[in-house]
C-alpha cells in the first residue's frame, strides 16, 4: 500500500493594496482560491504586515482576519 506523506508548507508573498482593509481582503481571496483548488490544503493567513519596497521597515497589522462582506455586516445585531 502506497501512503502519501503529509507536509507543512509555510508561504510568504507580497500583496499590493491601497490600505490595510484591501490587503486583508486580497490575502483572504488568494487563500480561498487555494482552498477551492486544493480542498484539503486548509490554508490560513497567519500574519499580515506592511513593508514598503526597498525598506527594512515593517508594520505588523494586528487584525489579519478575513473582512466581513456588507451583507454579513448588515446581519449583525448591533
In tens, the pLDDT along 12-58 reads 889 999 999 999 999 999 999 999 999 888 888 999 999 999 999 99
Q: How many domains does the chain have?
A: 1
Position with higher pLDDT, 76 vs 40: 40
Whether the CB-CB separation of 4 and 41 falls below 8 Å is answered with no
The pLDDT of residue 76: 64
Run of H or E including 59: strand 59-60
What is the C-alpha to C-alpha distance for residues 66 and 47, in angstroms, rounded to an integer?
12
Q: Is residue 6 part of a domain?
A: no
DSSP character at residue 75: T
Would you say how long the chain is, in residues? 78
Whether the CB-CB separation of 63 and 24 falls below 8 Å is answered with yes
Q: Is residue 7 part of a domain?
A: no
Domain extent, residue 31, equals: 20-65
The pLDDT of residue 77: 67
Q: Is residue 24 part of a domain?
A: yes
The pLDDT of residue 78: 61
The grid coordinates of residue 28 equal 483572504
Amino acid at each position: 500500500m502506497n501512503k502519501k506523506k503529509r507536509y507543512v508548507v509555510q508561504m510568504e508573498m507580497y500583496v499590493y493594496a491601497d490600505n490595510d482593509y484591501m490587503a486583508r481582503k486580497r490575502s483572504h481571496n488568494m487563500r480561498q482560491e487555494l482552498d477551492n483548488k486544493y480542498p484539503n490544503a486548509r490554508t490560513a493567513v497567519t500574519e499580515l504586515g506592511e513593508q514598503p519596497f526597498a525598506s527594512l521597515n515593517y508594520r505588523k497589522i494586528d487584525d489579519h482576519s478575513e473582512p466581513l462582506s456588507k451583507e454579513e455586516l448588515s446581519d449583525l445585531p448591533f
